[in-house]
Amino acid sequence: MPDIFVSYAHEDELRVRPIVHCLELQGWRVFWDRTIPIGKTWHSFIEQALLESHCILVAWSSHSVRSEWVIEEAEYAKQKGILVPLLLDAIEPPFGFKRIQTANISSWNNDATHQQFQQCLVAIAAIIQAAFAVSDILQDKPNFAAGRPPESKVMFHPFFDKSLTLTNFVLIRGDEFVMGSPESDAEHSSDETQHEVRLNNFYMSRYTVTVASFSRFIEESGYRTDADKDGGSGIWDDIEDEFVRKSGINWCYGVSGQLKWTPAGRQKVAEFKLVT
């Protein structure tokens, strides 16, 4: 099932290809190759991909504004509330789409840091994130990664706003797996029980986060970690052979109680949290 359906005119294929590449770098599954598989008809093949996609990206150009196929796909996306339009050329969208905010990337020159293209990525991420959240709620699947019940699920995490370069993050797809070793395993513990674990989709930074960079984030956003709010963290006690709670441990202070931050600020942050 594709995350994004890209609607474009055939004449714009070479210009759309770099856009698709940037989308795939985010970890999104993109439908844009119109090569029809053996045994499929053009209409059924396109329609199935269109209906299954979470988001529809429409590339308006001097060619596509005259394409009945692109306009029909855009109309479907608009009715479903999953339309993200962009301009490949400095033109006006066709009638019925002029009032919709559209990203103008006519001057982007395949630069993923282009402001309008970044806004386009943010819009896509919001739609896809909401689609996964709604899907989980309908299936009554709790958001274990966020620790929230379905009725209080966060649709779109505040980390992903227009000031953030989304291309620095990679979408990690959630899945279900079995945790714990079987009883037949030589190292199986008597208090160990195999159980299924489910992780939701989350985003992970491409780069290591240092204490110094995380400190700047704290100062600019006012964000407080769970350890800050709770006054401590759980740490592994080798003597007790279990996790124990210790006060004063957070992103800034280590297990020893010593300040981890130095002027160099090169240490990695010890506390990590899944962004769902």
Q: What is the largest CA-CA distance in the chain?
A: 72
- Domain positions in the chain are 4-138, 208-276
**What is the chain's pLDDT, residue by residue, as a tens digit (276 residues)?**
789 999 999 999 999 999 999 998 888 899 997 777 777 777 788 888 899 999 999 999 999 999 999 999 999 999 988 999 999 999 999 999 998 999 999 999 999 889 999 989 988 988 887 776 545 434 444 443 333 333 322 233 333 333 334 456 677 777 888 888 888 888 888 878 888 888 777 777 777 777 777 788 788 888 888 888 888 888 877 787 788 888 888 877 776 666 665 544 445 444 444 343
Q: How far is CA 49 from the centre of its chain?
A: 20
Distance (Å, rounded) from C-alpha 245 to C-alpha 192? Answer: 21
Joined tokens for residue 14:
């070479």
pLDDT at 167: 52
Helix-helix angle 115-138:13-25, to 10 degrees:
60
pLDDT at 6: 96
Q: What is the pTM of this model?
A: 0.54
Joined tokens for residue 187:
């190292």
pLDDT at 169: 67
Joined tokens for residue 209:
């986060």
Q: Which CATH number fits domain 4-138: 3.40.50.10140, 3.40.50.10330, 3.30.1050.10, 3.40.50.880?
A: 3.40.50.10140
* DSSP calls for 185-244: STT--TT---EEEE---EEEESSPPBHHHHHHHHHHH----HHHHHTEEEEEETTTTEEE
From the list 60, 52, 101, 56, the residue with the least C-alpha distance to 81 is: 56
